[in-house]
Amino acid sequence: MKNSILVLLLFVLSINFSINAQDDVSIGKIETIESKILGESRKIMIYTPNDMSNPANFNKKYPVVYLLDGDAHFTSVVGMIEQFSQINGNTITPEMIVVAIPNTNRNRDLTPTKSQPQPPMAPKALTDQSGGGKNFVSFMEKELFPYIETNYPTVPYRMFIGHSFGGLLVLDTLLDKPELFNSYIAIDPSMWWDNTLLLNTIKTTDFNDAKYNKKALYLGIANTLQEGLDIDTTRDIKGPMTAHINSILDTRDAFNKINNNGFLFASKFYENDNHGSAPLMTTYDGLRFIFDFYQFEVSFADVMAENTDIVDRMKAHYSNVTKTLGYENKPDEAMINGMGYQLMEMGKIDLAGEFFKMNVDYYPKSSNVYDSLGDYYLANEDKAKAKANFEKALSINENPESRKKLEKLKLD
């Protein structure tokens, strides 16, 4: 069935904005969880890629991004994921649910250990509250995850993103409970905390252990250099004014020494970004690094070449993505459908048929894919197969377009 609002997905990008009935732009909602573990009510901010009340989205399931300091970073992370996951034939990341957690007591929840005072960065008033990070992760594991996975359509893939103390907790969770998440983005983490206790643990951890296999970590380092120092000379200066950046550089070096090929790691020093601006750029680059394998580009040359293998390569690509992410991945039905019709208009009838048949393989319960395949057979003047596919479409879902085409065929 041809979608009249679908443009040339091979060559043109389209951006869709969701606007509710009141003409207010909305990117998510706030819900509340009563946590027995934390002994308090916790608000969570939730973004879903599509309208969950729309029947067309009932069977879609999504990975989940868990985001610390939610009230500070929710809008920017949602915006990046929306842009990267546009269904336009050049998708960079999968569509994902974002669960952002605003703070109640940040110093308590995002510090994995209780530290002695380390003035000026950690005065006694701060350290007295510290050390609740592992309890907070327990809240996520035992209360937040079940709540999200019960109430939202999720797949078994989770990402964890945190900044500063949040980045510290992200790395602590990678070491302490790597089974909770598949990928991690640590943004300018406070690795100086508790006399670099976590950094020292990283240095002595055996990352060849199978529990770290297939994990991915991206580390962003902000430019917090003191005046007169550069990325090399700062390493020779000791003291509280260089402790933050030096501890992160030491963390980077420790991860760079890991020889486990199944553990993916990358980092970047953001020379033009400070501690406050680094989250935007780090998340952007982190998403691109972690999902480097996800994108599948279809070029004009791919579809115009004689005996092109573009369909076989697309199938192989999504098979690899499925294996890498650990849940089924396939190209968007509407995107493949649109490509098929565009190819028919370009006179590439046989290739269009390959796209329509691929859609039937991926979406055998969809009425629309059989209607489109019927249109292909009509274009090939194979009326018997066209009739069979329109009948199949109608057996799944009665619709006027398929019915009209079938009745016309019966009169011929």
Q: What is the pLDDT of residues 320-340, one digit of tens each?
A: 999 999 999 999 899 899 999
Contact 393, 370 (CB under 8 A): yes
Mean residue pLDDT across the chain: 91
* Residue 52 pLDDT > 80: no
Determine contact, residues 181/228, Cβ cutoff 8 Å.
Answer: no
Tell me: cis bond preceding 178? Omega within 30 of 0 counts: no
Torsion-angle region of 69 (φ positive above 0: left; ψ -120 to 50: alpha; else: beta): left
Q: Which alpha helices (DSSP H) does 272-379 contain, by range?
A: 278-290, 300-304, 310-325, 333-345, 349-362, 367-379
DSSP 277-308: THHHHHHHHHHHHHTTTT-----HHHHHSTT-
On the question of pLDDT at 264 being above 80, the answer is yes
- Confidence category of residue 13, pLDDT binned at 50, 70, 90: very low
- Whether the predicted pLDDT of 286 surpasses 90: yes
16, pLDDT greater than 70: no
Query: Looking at the domain 29-290, which fold is it?
Result: Rossmann fold (3.40.50)
pLDDT at 5: 27
Is the pLDDT assigned to residue 377 strictly greater than 90?
yes
For residue 29, pLDDT beyond 80: yes
Q: How confident is the model at residue 11 (pLDDT cuts 50, 70, 90)?
A: very low
CA distance 247 to 65: 26
CATH code: domain 300-411 is 1.25.40.10
Per domain, the residue ranges of the chain are 29-290, 300-411
Q: What would the mean pLDDT of 74-94 be, rounded to a whole number?
A: 89
> d(Cα 131, Cα 112) in Å, to the nearest integer?
5
Question: Is 17 a residue whose pLDDT tops 90?
Answer: no
34-43 pLDDT, tens digit each: 999 999 999 9
Percent of the chain beyond pLDDT 90? 80
Q: Give the pLDDT band of residue 277 (cuts 50, 70, 90).
A: very high
Q: How far is CA 95 from CA 28, 63, 235, in A?
A: 14, 7, 40
Rounded distance between C-alpha atoms, residue 309 and residue 286, angstroms = 32
Contacts of 358 (CB under 8 A, 6+ apart): 311, 314, 315, 331, 336
State pLDDT tens for residues 164-209: 999 999 999 999 999 999 999 999 999 999 999 999 999 999 999 9
Confidence of residue 95 (pLDDT cuts 50, 70, 90): very high
| Cβ 165 vs Cβ 337: under 8 Å | no
363 pLDDT higher than 60: yes
| pLDDT for the residue numbered 8 | 29
Question: For residue range 206-248, what is the model confidence (pLDDT) as tens digits?
Answer: 999 999 999 999 999 999 999 899 899 999 898 888 999 999 9
Rounded mean pLDDT, 260-288: 96
In angstroms, the CA 217 to CA 189 distance is 13
Judged against a pLDDT cut of 70, whether residue 7 lies above it is answered with: no
pLDDT at 300: 87
**What percentage of the chain exceeds 70 in pLDDT?**
92
Q: Which residue from 14, 16, 3 is spatially nearest to 88, judged by alpha carbons? A: 14
